Amino acid sequence: MGPQFPCLRRKNRLPDHRAKPLEATAAIPSLNTREWQLRSTKPLCYRSRMLIRYDAIIIGTGAGGGTLAFHLARAGKRILIFERGPFMPQEKLNWDTSAVFLDNRYHTKEIWQDKDGKELHPQQSYFVGGQTKVFGAAMFRMRAEDFGVIRHQGGISPAWPISYSEMEPFYTRAEDLFHVHGDLGSAPAVPGGYGSSFDPTEPFHSRKYPFPALANEPRMQSIEDSVRKLGIHTFPIPLGLKRDEAAPLESKCVRCDTCDGYPCLVHAKSDADINCIRQILHLPNVTLMTNSRVTRLLTNPNGTEVARVEVIHSGPGVGSEDFAPPASGGRTVSYSADLFCLCAGAVNSAVILLASANDKHPNGLANSSDQVGRNFMYHQADALLAISRERNEDSYTKTWGTNDFYLRDTDPNYPYPLGQVQPVGSFHSEMMKGDAPPLTPGFVLETMKHHAVPWWLTTEDLPDPDNRVTLHNTTPLAVQNAQPGLGGPHPSGDTGHTNESEQVSDNAPYRIQLSYTPNNVESFERLKDRWIDILKRAGHATTSVPLHAYFKKRIPIEGVGHQNGTCRMGRDRTSSVLDPNCKAHDLDNLYLVDASCFVSASAVNPSLTIIANAIRIADHLVSERLK
């Protein structure tokens, strides 16, 4: 008997391609591989799957890949989806601050290197749903100005080859798909639809938000009232949380204090796993292979198209007599399709292209411009604590922000953008341990926690060709690691057990190098100064301290949750990797549908733009390439 890959399929029945609200779609339980196989028809063995010609192969299940898979599947296309990790387990440790932020339970064990060759432990989450399993669920549209040229103190933010007006319909559909809760206030009429009476920088919406914004709790309401009296414009933050404030008994979201940066134990966060992948697993045209890392893309002899993907499968059956596993301990096989959609994230999509070099593409696939891996961006961002005499007993604080400094500083002598201010969703004393003096008593940190409000500040960092991903030859090229999975017991944090039951394939230590030198830093420092001054004048901060544990220190650059760039789109094939439809200039059937296509980073969270762009590309593929 051949090995059983971790493939997920449901019983064969005709798909219903009619669009249905996600609330009406039956929830698919989180089951381990064997349970899926017992409930479904017996999966094809891997040798049979290798012979299938798929309409599209999708590599990655995050914001881009999950969204793309959802739309291609519901259009009836036969798709094969690869995810290098397993399904994330629902367990008490999902909401354990020490496990999540100090032990990095849900981050990869992969070791990269920074520009100086020092160890870099990235905050990458390799699970079905990708980084959306642990994101903060802030769902911002980029400002209309972000799609054009913007002059910063640190340099130029270049224009995209598409405009906000072209993206707007897809933003609207993305907000529907990911249950975005927001508020435009009185929604004044503007060209194209509705504006915001709260935020002057908000671009037009053709439709209002599908769900109402989350309300403030008392402490955040008090601070918002105070800063508004100083003339600051505040707005409700658009959030992908399944919270019904009018009917909390029926609401999935319980408005807990373990949301921002945590996995959601009750699946109330709108992530690519729950909102996209699990909504299509019942379709007979969908095959998902977990614990399956794509290592290379193989072209046809002329190098004009991708012909196959090479995959290492991990997990049960490794070392079966049916094949000879490579030195990594995993299984390497290949699969074919008409189209290949690389959605592995800005870093790993570049890694796969660079690793796919051949005689026709000696510098890496799709790299005739020498731009693959370059122009990496991830925002100038920091979290800080504003400490005051007033107690903060709010549970969830990420309810309002300000863009008053987004397009221009208030200082006429500094006519440059600064960025965005928003709260961190929740805060616990354990997050301060890394920055507190040695032997600081726990009760001191706990007292500080009850008098602190955490803030997240973001400034755009700018594309720089020397900020880049590169690849090194190592022996071996890959290693097997273990990470949390669905099987086995799921203890709480006080037991000392971690249950890392899933085998995954990772790149060998130091194979990936991420070189980054910060830019546009002066604007970021000004943004921090502006906000601290406002909080002090409003009476809501007597002092402030950096909160590095939330997303690690900015140097080295472990906090890559907002990674983008590396394979930017453009009309000039000599200075870009992709065309405006995210197809590789150099290959006819390769698309990149993640944040790697970004031309600039803007200063807002990238998730909604990734999702909206994936919907845009899905429409293009269905109407033009997969007729």
| Beta carbons within 10 angstroms of residue 30's beta carbon | 16
Closest-CA residue to 512 (of 356, 348, 379, 297): 348
Give residues with Cβ within 8 angstroms of 438, minimum separation 6.
none
Please tell me the predicted confidence (pLDDT) of residue 106. 95
Using alpha carbons, select from 293, 307, 305, 311 the residue that is nearest to residue 366: 305
**What's at 226, amino acid-wise?**
S
Q: Are the C-beta atoms of 338 and 56 separated by less than 8 Å? A: yes
CA distance 577 to 598: 11
Residue 232 has a CB neighbour count (10 Å cut-off) of 16
Question: Following DSSP, what letter does each residue of 344-393 receive, concatenated?
Answer: S-HHHHHHHHHHT--SSSTT-TT-TTS-TTEEEE--EEEEEEEE-SS---
pLDDT digits (tens, 9 = 90+) for 167-188: 999 999 999 999 999 999 999 9
178: left (phi over 0), alpha (psi -120 to 50) or beta: alpha
Q: Which DSSP string corresponds to 455-519?
A: EEEEE-----TTSEEEE---SSSEEEEEE--SSS----GGG------EEEEEEPTTSEEEE----
- Predicted local confidence at residue 192, as pLDDT: 96
Round to whole Å and give the CA distance between 591 and 570: 13
CA–CA separation, 43 and 12 (whole Å): 11
Q: Rounded CA gap, 394 and 396, in Å? A: 6
Report the alpha-carbon distance of residue 137 to residue 241 in Å, rounded.
7
The per-residue pLDDT for 316 is 55
% of residues, the chain, pLDDT over 90: 73
Between vectors from CA 437 to CA 434 and to CA 438, what angle results, nearest 5°?
85
Token pair of 395, please? 């549970």
Going by C-alpha positions, the residue among 111, 110, 141, 114 that lies closest to residue 126 is: 110
- Three-class SS state of 617: helix
Cα separation, 225 vs 217, whole angstroms = 12
CB 463 within 8 A of CB 158: yes
In this structure, are residues 489 and 92 in contact, taking their beta carbons and an 8 Å threshold? no
**Residue 374, pLDDT score:** 98
Which of 77, 81, 56 is CA-nearest to residue 66? 81
Report d(CA 62, CA 126) in Å as an integer.
Answer: 9
| Low pLDDT (below 70) residues in the chain | 1-51, 315-331, 432-440, 443-445, 544-556
**In this structure, what DSSP letter does residue 419 have?**
-
Long-range contacts from 311-314, C-beta under 8 angstroms, 24+ separation: 311/82, 311/335, 312/478, 312/505, 313/5, 313/6, 313/46, 313/289, 313/505, 314/480, 314/502, 314/503, 314/504, 314/505
pLDDT number for residue 11: 35
| Position 358, amino acid | N
Q: What count of other Cβ atoms lies within 10 Å of the Cβ of residue 115?
A: 17
Distance between CA 609 and CA 528 in Å, rounded? 25
Given the DSSP bridges, would you call strands 79-82 and 53-59 parallel, antiparallel or unpaired? parallel
The sign of the dihedral angle between the CA atoms of 598, 603, 608, 612 is negative
Query: Tokens representing 33?
Result: 């591989």
Strand partners, 308: 298, 336
CA distance 312 to 328: 9
Cβ-count burial 332-352 (b if 16+ within 10 Å, e if not): bbebbbbbbbbbbbbbbbbbb
Are 458 and 380 contacting, i.e. CB atoms less than 8 angstroms apart?
A: yes
Q: DSSP characters for 80-94?
A: EEE-SS-PPPP-GGG
**pLDDT tens-digit profile of 366-419?**
999 999 999 999 999 988 888 888 888 999 999 999 999 999 999 999 999 999
Cis before 476 (ω within 30): yes
Measured distance CA(145)–CA(160) in Å, rounded: 10
Length of the chain as a residue count: 627
Q: Looking at residue 319, what is its pLDDT?
A: 31
Exposure letters 129-151 (e unless 16+ CB within 10 A, then b)? bbbbbbbbbbbbbbbbbbbeebe
Contact 439, 205 (CB under 8 A): no
pTM here is 0.91
User: Residues of 278-314 as b/e, b for ≥16 C-beta within 10 angstroms?
Assistant: bbbbbbebbbbbbbbbbbbbebeeeeeebbbbbbbbb
**C-alpha 343 chain-centroid distance:** 11
Interatomic CA distance for residues 127 and 112, integer angstroms: 19
pLDDT of 20 = 35
- How far, CA to CA in Å, does 368 sit from each of 361, 409, 473, 592? 8, 40, 21, 16
